[in-house]
Structure 1
């Protein structure tokens, strides 16, 4: 169960003053029932919450966490899940998992701030030391501030330098902050709002893409100054519709690394200001509809506006994966598939 899944229980235990210990799944090799980030927590009163392996190792974890509450030190443990154990929880093969064990301190400012961010739907990245020198130390990164420490100013700076990359993802993983330095291993959890998709152009492709992206978990904003196209009944799945000119509408949005921009107007009067605004932002993806001739024309126009080649190289064009798509719905599938593929890339 994820951190959000155990939050209600640990908040209740903390409110009545019960000491709490928590196990965090930080790595999976081969296969396992749950992904990194899963939590299993216990209270000193004997209550349990969450799961690491859907039952395989919770008994042993309970003993280890109880010992930790009795005065033990934070630790890590590796479990080899046998084929028989894995089959019992619905897996076809066994695997190996790494788990961190630590006490949960409700008075820790890092935890307090993380809960605030989650309640507000704001992004944050929680780093937990995964090597002996940093174990049990935590650093919380936000786009414009940091809280806590990994115990080293150098490690904190290395983490801060990668915050945009981590805010562009929604997964959890162990990373080496300093290359070839196993003492710099940290467990990184990105807690981010749903990915956002800005569609410029209330076209038939935009209509199909909006519906599909919404069902895939995106928060969709549709931008188009043409009133005849941007009608609410055509985009019931959009989080918002913006009738302003693309550069004005997009300048008002925080185009962060979790935001993708897809430009579908196929009209230079709308394409060019939309591209220029997107390229000046930190958005994670920029896609442009149109064949090779259109791509060349837009690129030349951007270069004439003063942008450089490296900036223009951020544009995915023609937008979408090359799957032979022809209809608006098929093109929308190709675009969404490209967004998902890039999000899943290592």
Structure 2
């Protein structure tokens, strides 16, 4: 990808809708700036102790005072908004530092206090519109990029993903060893591909959306995969092999198979095993999973490939209801994503 060659793009309802409100700060900042109301992108650049939000978390402040996103869980947002409005008026960047006391930490559900640094970048005067536009375009096209900015001067630029491979791999923004260069990682949004619009999927999909996933439901049976059952969710009424070819799998994708039907599950499963999909889970008993393993062996997959399949799907938490099973699935996906799976 050539950063300089990116074309202009505006935030569409579809693009904004594919991201949670906490993840759409760049898109909103660009849209608010272009609407003429002004915008400041506020980013957590360093944390110490039990800081409320992780490094890289963002809040966008509009010139009219509206806000979206979060940099502190609520305990210092008011001060950030005031400082952001001042930065917008002056056309300069600011680096703020806040100590979160034990009392404030308790108010936002933390066990103890911490410290955070927040970088404020007014769009246009500091964070150039063309740079932000290129970032939004990369995010929309699922291209991994990094934003590199000097905390002293406020000057920033987009760089190719290869410039910070370890940060991109770990999905970890942070300050470099020079103490001045902050690198914000912008990986493609996480996607959850669900095969089978069953009752478990009805619970799992909204949970995944809250967790920041962009879900897609594959279901050739129209009665199951309806708008009424999955409002606002992308539904593909194709057979899984056609649907998977349309979607494509990458390292930011999780696949969950819920149909119990090999005719539906297996084509998607085999496509995922040939991809870099970070999580593959399949519903069914141990006996069902054993049969699934045999089919995959017959299809030519090796032991290491088959070991990637989590089956029965989900952490063993004694789940019984569809909602509890959905919780166990999302918990296992998170554990694998964060490297905590056994």
Answer whether TM exceeds 0.5 for this pair: yes
- Residue 318 to residue 23, structure 1, CA distance change in 2 (3 Å): closer
TM-score by length of 1: 0.65
Secondary structure of the residue aligned to 1:295 is helix
The structural deviation recorded for 1:327 is 4.3
- Residue 160 to residue 336, structure 1, CA distance change in 2 (3 Å): closer
The structural deviation recorded for 1:280 is 1.6
Secondary structure of the residue aligned to 1:98 is strand
1:113 alignment counterpart: 134
1:123 alignment counterpart: 142
Matches within 5 A, 1:206-285: 206-214=198-206, 216-217=208-209, 218-225=213-220, 227=221, 230=224, 232=226, 235-237=229-231, 239-285=233-279
Cα distance in 2 for partners of 1:200, 1:159 equals 34
Provide, for residues 40-62 of structure 1, a one-character-per-residue CA deviation record: whole Å limited to 9, x for no partner. Answer: 7799xxx9786863245677788
Secondary structure of the residue aligned to 1:232 is coil
Cα distance in 1 for partners of 2:61, 2:234 equals 39
Cα distance in 1 for partners of 2:329, 2:135 equals 33
Secondary structure of the residue aligned to 1:249 is helix
Cα distance in 1 for partners of 2:157, 2:142 equals 16
- Residue 182 to residue 291, structure 1, CA distance change in 2 (3 Å): farther
Instruction: Note the residue ranges of structure 1 that are not aligned, 5 or more in a row.
Output: 141-145, 147-155, 167-171
Provide, for residues 168-199 of structure 1, a one-character-per-residue CA deviation record: whole Å limited to 9, x for no partner. Answer: xxxx63276xxxx5579643243655x43322
Asked if the contact 2:30–2:132 (Cα under 8 Å) also holds between the matched residues in 1, the reply is no
TM-score by length of 2: 0.66
Structure 2 residue 174 is matched with structure 1 residue 174: yes
1:37 alignment counterpart: 57
- Residue 61 to residue 94, structure 1, CA distance change in 2 (3 Å): farther
Structure 2 residue 157 is matched with structure 1 residue 188: no
User: Which segment drifts farther, 250-259 or 104-113?
Assistant: 104-113
Cα distance in 2 for partners of 1:163, 1:111 equals 19
Secondary structure of the residue aligned to 1:335 is helix
User: Which segment drifts farther, 237-246 or 309-318?
Assistant: 237-246
Larger Rg: 1
Secondary structure of the residue aligned to 2:164 is helix
Cα distance in 1 for partners of 2:292, 2:271 equals 13
Residue-pair matches, total: 305
Asked if the contact 1:56–1:81 (Cα under 8 Å) also holds between the matched residues in 2, the reply is no
Provide, for residues 114-137 of structure 1, a one-character-per-residue CA deviation record: whole Å limited to 9, x for no partner. Answer: 24456xx44355534467799744
Asked if the contact 1:174–1:187 (Cα under 8 Å) also holds between the matched residues in 2, the reply is yes
- Residue 311 to residue 164, structure 1, CA distance change in 2 (3 Å): farther
Structure 2 residue 43 is matched with structure 1 residue 24: yes
Matches within 5 A, 1:74-113: 78-83=97-102, 93-100=112-119, 104-105=125-126, 107=128, 109-113=130-134
1:157 alignment counterpart: 162
Asked if the contact 2:314–2:331 (Cα under 8 Å) also holds between the matched residues in 1, the reply is yes
Secondary structure of the residue aligned to 1:208 is helix
Q: Calculate the aligned-residue CA RMSD, in Å.
A: 4.5
Provide, for residues 261-317 of structure 1, a one-character-per-residue CA deviation record: whole Å limited to 9, x for no partner. Answer: 111232334433221111122333210122333333322332332323322222111
The structural deviation recorded for 1:322 is 0.5
- Residue 82 to residue 310, structure 1, CA distance change in 2 (3 Å): same
Higher relative contact order (CA 8 A, sep 6+): 2
Asked if the contact 2:51–2:113 (Cα under 8 Å) also holds between the matched residues in 1, the reply is yes
